Chains A and B, each alone.
Chain A
């Protein structure tokens, strides 16, 4: 049963490298090259979201949510621990922009983050249902597991739309 008040609840703010699992709204603000990854269990109406900053953990384990390679596995583990079945999961992703081409020196971190997320998902036989990545603009991403797993993206001009 979707909760009609979901949009009015104060969302859990997910900072860089942080994650959250639950049924209430959650949000990552101002994603530039970072990625907001959401995984929704359409049978249990719960979801998990992580705010990824870099593609590779290179062996670091203290902040698994910060890196694409460890963050995807982290969310899958948390959901699986709660009894979620892989076949019920809906994955969405937003972010991965390139706001400063000049300083990039060919290392487009946003794109590399998105590629790594896709690769790890593919390793786990999961596909992305919907995504909005790349471009040059920042995004704020909100996730509403108790409202059918709705994911909205907003840019600096302030208009939120569903992906």
Chain B
């Protein structure tokens, strides 16, 4: 579990660095958490609040490996794109330009996350093209869980909060691997820790 935590840590740290570069502001990150969540309890972790989710399927050496998600509340999403686009109104509706900006941020962060974890694990994980939804967060996560390869009662979420105090941006980067991907992670990590 410690090694898994480290995996999430390295991925999230790289994502935080890229976000910080994009915003030209410091970005802090929480301690990465690994949560095992029973699907019946999902609403205790992710509610019905409106949020933007940029979703990527994990591809590469493991096809359909699970998902990586850049999650940002609707409010923070406006602050984020305002910062990127040089706008100021915090109450405006999100438009197509915001959507492109969110996709771009998500893309860069997911790539940074996966590059870092791939380097540690020694196998390649690539993000699929991104899909953006701005809707009830629970509904989006639920839809992803329903279409995972296996019929599961619990999901494992690698979740790290990234926040930028200067621009009032609070976001999460979440990896939700398939059971088969988790097994591969564990095998690789065990190999890494064996004395050579």
Contacts and interface: CB of A to CB of B under 8 A. Distances in A.
Interface of A: 13, 15-18, 29-34, 53-54, 58, 60, 63, 66, 97-104, 107, 109-110, 137-140, 155-156
Contacts of B142: 16, 30-34, 53
Contact of B39 (A16, A30, A103, A104): A16
Given A29-B48, A100-B131, A54 B151 contact: yes
B40 A99 contact: no
Task: Classify chain B: how many residues form its interface, as a range.
Answer: 20 to 34
Contacts of B134: 156
B135 A60 contact: no
B43 interface: yes
Contact of B43 (A29, A33, A137): A29
Nearest to B67: A103
A102 B147 contact: no
B128 to A, nearest CB: 8
B27 interface: no
Contact of B143 (A18, A32, A63, A66): A32
B121 interface: no
Contacts of B151: 54, 58, 60
Given A63-B153, A100-B133, A102-B128, 16 more contacts: A17-B39, A29-B43, A29-B48, A30-B136, A30-B139, A32-B141, A34-B143, A54-B146, A97-B143, A100-B144, A103-B57, A139-B139, A155-B136, A156-B48, A156-B50, A156-B136
Contacts of A66: 39
A13 B43 contact: yes
Interface string B74-96: 00000000000000000000000
Q: Chain A binding site: helix, strand, loop or mixed by DSSP?
A: loop
Nearest to B130: A102
Interface in B94-152: 128-129, 131, 133-147, 151
A155 B139 CA distance: 10
B140 A99 contact: yes
Contacts of B60: none
27 contacts: A15-B41, A15-B43, A16-B42, A16-B145, A29-B43, A29-B136, A30-B46, A30-B47, A30-B136, A30-B142, A33-B143, A53-B146, A54-B146, A60-B151, A97-B143, A99-B135, A99-B140, A100-B140, A100-B144, A103-B57, A103-B147, A109-B143, A138-B136, A138-B140, A139-B139, A156-B135, A156-B136
A70 to B, nearest CB: 13
Contact of A100 (B43, B46, B138, B147): B147
Interface in B21-66: 39-43, 46-48, 50, 55, 57
Nearest to A31: B139
Contacts of B139: 30-32, 34, 97, 99, 137-139, 156
A162 to B, nearest CB: 19
B138 A99 contact: no
Given A16-B142, A30-B48, A99-B140, A107 B147 contact: yes
B138 A15 contact: no
A140 B55 contact: no
